[in-house]
Structure 1
Amino acid sequence: MADVFGMALMDYHQGNYTEDIITHSSLDEEDTIPLPYLFRDYEKMPPLEKKALALAKGKVLDIGCGAGSHSLYLQKKGLEVTALDYSAGAIMVCQERGVKSTVNSAILSYTDDKFDTLLLLMNGIGLAGKLNNLERFLQHLASLLLPNGQILLDSSDIIYMFDQDEDGGYWIPNTGQYYGEVEFTMTYKGHKSDSFTWLYLDYNTLSNACLSHNLNCELVCSGQHYDYLARITKK
């Protein structure tokens, strides 16, 4: 699988920025991931991310760290941070930007250490892929927590992307799958990624999944566009 994401991050980091990543999704929309946004400093981060960074404590695992912006901020605050990403290019960029501890791995393959805070920002729960993977994903995350540890994650309820009728109900295609499962491919400078599924999860579904697996789930705050920050702890 071409590391399209890592390639783009490396280009931007090395001063070869000429275009953004283009995403194609099963929602029939073409969109872009602006590379400068992935390198933003704290001032340019949305309120949900700032809140999560304020709540982060102790030993932190930044899951799906990308270019390492969250890790660098927490590191400067004096926290012990490990940045983890499946993209080798992303990890290389993190290292070159000064992140001290990095891991190039899929999160489900990682079992090396335990942490006080697991950080999954920029819709990090999307890494679960599909709703029927959520149970396994949450259990694995919980296994990486130290006593009194926490999982901080944000996501969006994408129900707003579907047509609404006069009664306020939504017209969701009956595909047999959860409406928040979105299939993506990324293209960048003629390179195309394999397709992958990303999970956008409404808070009630997350909360119910936690409840049935002996986890506490707390809605920390809601954003302006169907997005939210949640905190999960072991009971």
Structure 2
Amino acid sequence: MEKDIFGKAIADYHAGNYSEDIKTYSSLEEEDTIPLPYLFRDYKKMPVVEQKALKLCKGTVLDIGCGAGSHSLYLQKNGLQVTALDHSKGAIETCIKRGITQTVCSDIYDFKDQKFDTLLMLMNGIGIVGKLQNIDALFTHLKTLLKPNGQLLLDSSDIIYMFEEDEDGGYWIPDNTKYYGEVDFVMEYKGEKSDSLPWLYIDYNTLQRAANANNLNCELVYEGEHYDYLAKLTLIKE
């Protein structure tokens, strides 16, 4: 059974039991934290990339990897029919308590037989594929959830900046790395650690190639100041 570190932390914060943040350890850098208040931020405190994505949402929306539900809550309050999906039981229970009316506790691959106008994957939601080699399987599944004129909105980051640059402008990438955006994460909360979780950060050009290979148009909607971006994917009409 999964430990649901993320869900426990979210549930604690919402219940008023906030005493510490989630610690993260990755294969690329030393210890970092996920501040719990940030997961409950309102629209004004969201980064521009997320604000732009929310403004582009239309029709029925599936918020994939909804976490504490801040994006879903904003969309719902603005009249959109949104379904908040997360595999974390604690996250979904918190979403319900926050007033989100449609929630699903499920792995995205197990969620089927519904179609949406907008699929939303924010806070690098595409990272759930873990490894670049798995992206075709994800796109194949996501296409079954899209209406004919639907859209997939996602943000990610090109983490090439985390690697050492040489004099010629190239980067030192470890030989054992298939793709430099593949990272392994461990989360810790109140002394309990999660299992190692593979996570993907994907640069825009690689995303575009993968999308096109899966019969999806890929448009760069917004480029942030620190290697982050927002992309919109749509079905290529056959």
TM-score by length of 2: 0.97
| Residue 168 of structure 1: how far off its partner (Å) | 1.1
1:110 paired to 2:128: no
Partner of 2:175: 174
Partner of 1:157: 158
How far, CA to CA, are the matches of 1:222 and 1:66 in structure 2? 24
Partner of 1:58: 59
| Residue 122 of structure 1: how far off its partner (Å) | 0.3
Amino acid at match of 2:157: S
SS at structure 1 position matched to 2:126: helix
Partner of 2:121: 120
Q: Which deviations, in whole Å up to 9, do the C-alpha atoms of 1:151-180 show, x marking residues without a partner?
A: 000000000000001121111111141110
How far, CA to CA, are the matches of 1:117 and 1:29 in structure 2? 36
Partner of 1:147: 148
SS at structure 2 position matched to 1:93: helix
How far, CA to CA, are the matches of 2:177 and 2:126 in structure 1? 21
Partner of 1:47: 48
Runs of 4+ with >6 A deviation: none
**Percent same amino acid at aligned positions?**
68
Amino acid at match of 2:230: L
Amino acid at match of 1:177: K
After the TM superposition, which residues 5-44 of structure 1 pair with which residues of structure 2 at under 5 Å, given as runs? 5-44=6-45
SS at structure 1 position matched to 2:152: strand
1:135 paired to 2:121: no
| Residue 192 of structure 1: how far off its partner (Å) | 1.1
| Residue 213 of structure 1: how far off its partner (Å) | 1.4
Q: How many residues align?
A: 235
Q: Which deviations, in whole Å up to 9, do the C-alpha atoms of 1:182-205 show, x marking residues without a partner?
A: 001100001111111000000000
Partner of 2:189: 188
How far, CA to CA, are the matches of 1:176 and 1:103 in structure 2? 35
How far, CA to CA, are the matches of 2:71 and 2:99 in structure 1? 12
SS at structure 1 position matched to 2:179: coil
Alignment root-mean-square deviation, CA: 0.7
- List alignment gaps of at least 5 residues for structure 2: none
How far, CA to CA, are the matches of 1:212 and 1:93 in structure 2? 38
Partner of 1:213: 214
How far, CA to CA, are the matches of 2:117 and 2:224 in structure 1? 25
| Residue 112 of structure 1: how far off its partner (Å) | 3.4
How far, CA to CA, are the matches of 1:123 and 1:14 in structure 2? 26
Q: Which deviations, in whole Å up to 9, do the C-alpha atoms of 1:209-232 show, x marking residues without a partner?
A: 111111100000101110000000
| Residue 28 of structure 1: how far off its partner (Å) | 3.5
How far, CA to CA, are the matches of 1:213 and 1:138 in structure 2? 7
Q: Which deviations, in whole Å up to 9, do the C-alpha atoms of 1:85-124 show, x marking residues without a partner?
A: 0100000000000000000001111103110000000001
Amino acid at match of 1:98: G
How far, CA to CA, are the matches of 1:14 and 1:56 in structure 2? 30
Amino acid at match of 2:38: Y
- List alignment gaps of at least 5 residues for structure 1: none
Q: Which deviations, in whole Å up to 9, do the C-alpha atoms of 1:43-81 show, x marking residues without a partner?
A: 000001000000000000000000000000000110000
How far, CA to CA, are the matches of 1:72 and 1:13 in structure 2? 14
TM-score by length of 1: 0.99
SS at structure 1 position matched to 2:142: helix
